[in-house]
Chains A and B, each alone.
Chain A
Amino acid sequence: MDKSFGALKVLDELSFRVDPGERVTLIGPSGSGKTTILRLLMTLEKVTPKADPERDGGVVWVEGQPYSHMEKRGRLVPANERWLRRRRSSVGMVFQQFNLFPNMRVLRNVTEAQVHVAGRSKEEAEAKARDLLELVGLSDKTDAYPSHLSGGQQQRVAIARALAMDPDILLLDEVTSALDPELVADVLAVLRDIADTTSITMLCVTHEMGFARDVSDRVMMFDSGRIVEQGPPEAMFSEPQEARTQDFLRAVLAE
């Protein structure tokens, strides 16, 4: 697939697949298109359309079904809002800036979509929210407003909010980049825990190489909208083949 913003080509004939339950980490310099991939998968951006998707590609597929596109009279056409609404419920996302709803208390941040999207009863949604908030270590903050929480706590609420919808695929977009260094560990611990105890497919954009090494099955190195190199984390981190990967890792690990 391609993705352009005006004349700027952010993703360049990119093609890759992720297996169910696989943990993939996307690394690379800023502006290399990592975040754009997550945003495409969350339908916050649209792939740049191609004249003939069957032949030219440019289609995101999820679970064997077209995702960015839909079938209409036997042809693939860009998906409309109704189609996206149906399909994206299997995908959840955690953002760099948390994006909790500031007008809702913590508990309602986690129940809102459960009740109004998943159609659960209020009691059921609250029970699930309390379980998840306990999982992320915040069972004592259910009645707080997000503005009264630290960044790390807000991000853990955001993780609980995404998990409450039982996504098959979880997108993590630089989830620790906006946090003070001492708050990063708690958030990563929660994510490690989720990686160990669930089979959710995870796509993760991060600069935390230790975390990437521990949880991911595969690391993909991006530059200029292309995959430069990919492989299991041990191989990628200990003996990267491409000069750009070596330079990037040297720069990041020197920090």
Chain B
Amino acid sequence: MQTGWSNETVREIFPAMWDGFLVVLQVTLVAGIIAVVLGLFVAIGERGGPVWLRRPLSLAFQFIRNTPLLVQVLIVWTATSLYINPDWSAFAVGSAVLGVHYASYTSESFRAGIDAIPQGQWEAATALNLPTRRVWGAVVLPQMFRRSAAAVGNWIIAMFKEVPTLFVIGVMEMVAQARAFQGQHYTGAVEGYTIAGLLFLAASYPVAVAMRRLEIRFAKSNY
């Protein structure tokens, strides 16, 4: 078994790692959409939904937020393949669990954005008799997005970095690719994980900088 760094191995493993990286991006896209859309609905539900729904909704997502992602991934994967449908792909199930898990965080950021809107905005909307749909769509959500965008963006970056958790159920992201390569060639783990780290850094750093800029721009804007 070869030990130590080998540039030859880097060349050999890179295509597999690149495939893994593309899978990471795909998972991030799917899970990110779930995290943002579901998180938004949860926040709206907690603040504007029927009163009987608010507490259970809040508790359910508090539960999700306070249990480990890895455990959730394993439970849902096991349960779906045993009891629901064994043909569901690890990619689909993994992305869904990741998205719902992070929706529990984004919903908090959206909710904080809603709570930061002055009470007077709601009162003005009532005084004008605006229908509920307009109160949310024209008054509350536009103001909330400005306040929440940067925080939610940071949750998506955090989520992106947690995609490797899904290797435990066989999603062929970068860690799984490196392990598969090592299984076949008895080498490449160090090179593979290093490439994985560099690709994560290369992708998340520019996004983090962009989020910071967005935050500054919104802070200077009209509202």
Contact = CB atoms under 8 A, between A and B. Distances in A.
B213 interface: no
A111 B142 CA distance: 17
Interface string A86-108: 00110111010101111110000
Nearest to A103: B142
Interface string A136-167: 00000000011110000000000001100100
Given A103-B143, A147-B222, A93 B130 contact: no
Contacts of A161: 128
Given A102-B223, A112-B138, A117 B121 contact: no
A116 B131 contact: yes
Contact of A102 (B123, B134, B138, B222): B222
B124 interface: yes
A83 to B, nearest CB: 12
A8 interface: no
Contacts of A112: 128, 130, 134, 138
Contact of B123 (A89, A99, A148): A99
Interface in B121-150: 121, 123-124, 126-131, 134, 138-139, 142-143
Nearest to B137: A116
A7 interface: no
A155 to B, nearest CB: 13
Contact of A88 (B129, B134, B142, B143): B129
A116 B134 contact: yes
A99 B128 CA distance: 11
Question: What is the predominant secondary structure among interface residues of chain B facing chain A?
Answer: helix
B156 to A, nearest CB: 23
A117 B130 contact: yes
B139 A113 contact: no
Nearest to B117: A102
A91 B222 CA distance: 30
B129 A44 contact: no
A113 B223 CA distance: 20
Nearest to B133: A116
A85 interface: yes
A95 B142 contact: no
A99 B121 CA distance: 6
Given A101-B121, A116-B131, A145 B223 contact: yes
A87 B148 CA distance: 35
Given A103-B142, A103-B223, A95 B130 contact: no
A102 B128 contact: no
Interface string B210-223: 00000000000011
Interface of B: 118, 120-121, 123-124, 126-131, 134, 138-139, 142-143, 222-223
18 contacts: A43-B126, A44-B123, A92-B128, A95-B127, A99-B121, A99-B124, A102-B222, A102-B223, A103-B223, A112-B130, A113-B129, A116-B134, A117-B131, A145-B223, A146-B223, A161-B128, A165-B128, A165-B129
Given A89-B129, A103-B223, 12 more contacts: A95-B124, A97-B118, A97-B120, A100-B124, A112-B130, A112-B138, A113-B130, A117-B129, A145-B222, A147-B223, A148-B222, A161-B128
